[in-house]
């Protein structure tokens, strides 16, 4: 079992990574509480709830289970409200932690409930998709969607621990695995050329769900995310680097309707477009640009963006919430392993990437 720490002073917390990490839940929760509320959904519960319950039972912890409806379309105010109602009915007090078992949807809703229930209760994240294991469970962003925008209603609330059990990935659909790999590729691209090289050599092992390869990829991804979050918890600067590929990606998601492209799929294609823009505006070498494209393709992610008129792209990207003071900000690569934030991208360069 590997361990990392997210260094945030009093809000610091451990990330435990490895096969069987769910088994740590009982020990983690029993350090500060006598009971827990597990929040999950029926799909995840069928596969992975027994291991979690066994761990809580072994530590002598009473626990209730609340099931949320599955899917991004339920990541909304109504689901949050129902969860808060259940917490009140169960007479959950301020010391009782929520244990969020599931992908990013469960983690974001349960994390947000923990942020606001009685002004805040602890939350232990037990992410079960690769995307949640390398991204959404770490960093404390919690949210639900509003009809007018994704993740528009939320709070920062750091978890008290993150337990990443690689055994959970055995049951994950291949398409979801690939979507998570997009975020893994992102970490290498923005921050760590050696890790990017390792990914190029190890993609086959990752797709074959080799446990050692997955553990290493998750560890390196969480290490990079933890460093960035520790330096800029509330995204006033450096944390925005994590949005590499996301401005184009969000445009793809919005244009095609949420659910048609998975988030990670849109980010994969978005990174290819961002690499092309980087080649035009900040000197990314053609060879480096093609390495990004090849790695996205090797992960089994789509590589052809939907056909949209350049004006439509601009309109969709302009509506992204990462726009500040009317200027579109892009995360671009100067080289593999080094990203920068640029707010001065020339419209003509952008238009030529979109037209191509």
Q: Looking at the annotation, which residues are catalytic?
A: 119, 141, 183, 225, 235, 239, 243, 246, 250, 263
Buried b (16+ CB within 10 A) or exposed e, 227-253: ebbbeebebeeebbbbbbbbbbbbbbb
Regarding 251 and contact with ligand NAD (CB under 6 A), the answer is no
DSSP-derived secondary structure for 134-193? IIITSS-EEEEEETTEEEEEEEE---SEEEEEGGGGGGS-HHHHHHHHHHHHHHHHHH-H
As a residue count, the chain comes to: 356
Buried b (16+ CB within 10 A) or exposed e, 23-57: bbbbebbbeebebbbbbbbebbbeebbebbbebbe
Nearest to 222 by CA among 163, 134, 298: 134
Among 24, 176, 253, 320, binds ligand NAD (CB under 6 A): 176
Among 129, 158, 166, 243, binds ligand NAD (CB under 6 A): 129
**How many residues bind ligand NAD, per CB under 6 A?**
28
Stretch that binds ligand NAD, among 169-177, 185-193, 205-213, 278-286 (CB under 6 A): 169-177
The contact mask relative to ligand NAD for 304-343 (x = CB under 6 A, - = no) is ----------------------------------------
Among 108, 192, 293, 320, binds ligand NAD (CB under 6 A): 108
Parallel/antiparallel/unpaired status of strands 141-146 and 149-156: antiparallel
Stretch that binds ligand NAD, among 12-20, 133-141, 189-197, 286-294 (CB under 6 A): 133-141
Regarding 166 and contact with ligand NAD (CB under 6 A), the answer is no
Stretch that binds ligand NAD, among 130-138, 214-222, 277-285, 333-341 (CB under 6 A): 130-138
Distance CA 318, CA 323 (A): 7
Residue 64: beta bridge partners?
37
Stretch that binds ligand NAD, among 68-76, 114-122, 233-241, 249-257 (CB under 6 A): 68-76
Binding site for ligand NAD (CB under 6 A): 41, 43-44, 47, 70, 72, 75, 102-106, 108, 128-129, 131-132, 135-136, 139, 141, 151, 168, 171-172, 176, 179, 263
């Amino acid at each position: 079992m590997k361990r990392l720490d997210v260094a945030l002073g009093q809000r610091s917390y451990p990330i435990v990574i490895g096969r069987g990490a769910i088994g740590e839940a009982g020990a983690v929760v029993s350090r500060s509480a006598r009971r827990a509320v597990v929040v999950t959904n029926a799909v995840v519960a069928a596969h992975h709830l027994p291991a979690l319950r066994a761990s809580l039972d072994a530590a002598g912890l009473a626990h209730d289970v609340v099931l949320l409806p599955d899917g991004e379309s339920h990541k909304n105010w109504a689901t949050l409200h129902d969860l808060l109602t259940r917490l009140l009915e169960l007479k959950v007090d301020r010391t009782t932690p929520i244990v969020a078992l599931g992908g990013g949807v469960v983690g974001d809703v349960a994390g947000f409930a923990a942020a606001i229930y009685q002004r805040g209760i602890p939350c232990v994240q037990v992410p079960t998709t690769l995307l949640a294991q390398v991204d959404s469970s770490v960093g404390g962003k919690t949210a639900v969607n509003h009809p007018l925008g994704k993740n528009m209603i939320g709070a920062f609330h750091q978890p008290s621990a993150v337990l990443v059990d690689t055994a959970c990935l055995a049951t994950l659909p291949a398409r979801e695995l690939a979507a998570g790999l997009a975020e893994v590729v992102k970490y290498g691209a923005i921050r760590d050329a050696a890790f990017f090289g390792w990914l190029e050599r190890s993609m086959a092992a990752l797709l074959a769900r080799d446990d050692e390869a997955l553990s290493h990829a998750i560890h390196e991804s969480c290490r990079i995310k933890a460093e960035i979050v520790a330096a800029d918890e509330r995204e006033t600067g450096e944390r925005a680097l994590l949005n590499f590929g996301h401005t184009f990606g969000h445009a793809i998601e919005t244009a095609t309707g949420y659910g048609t492209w998975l988030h990670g799929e849109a980010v994969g294609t978005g990174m290819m477009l961002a690499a092309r823009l980087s080649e035009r505006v900040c000197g990314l070498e053609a060879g480096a640009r093609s390495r990004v494209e090849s790695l996205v393709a090797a992960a089994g992610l789509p590589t052809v963006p939907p056909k949209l008129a350049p004006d439509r792209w601009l309109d969709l990207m302009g509506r992204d919430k990462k726009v500040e003071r009317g200027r579109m900000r892009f995360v671009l690569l100067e080289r593999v392993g080094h990203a920068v934030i640029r707010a001065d991208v020339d419209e003509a360069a952008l238009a030529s990437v979109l037209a191509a």
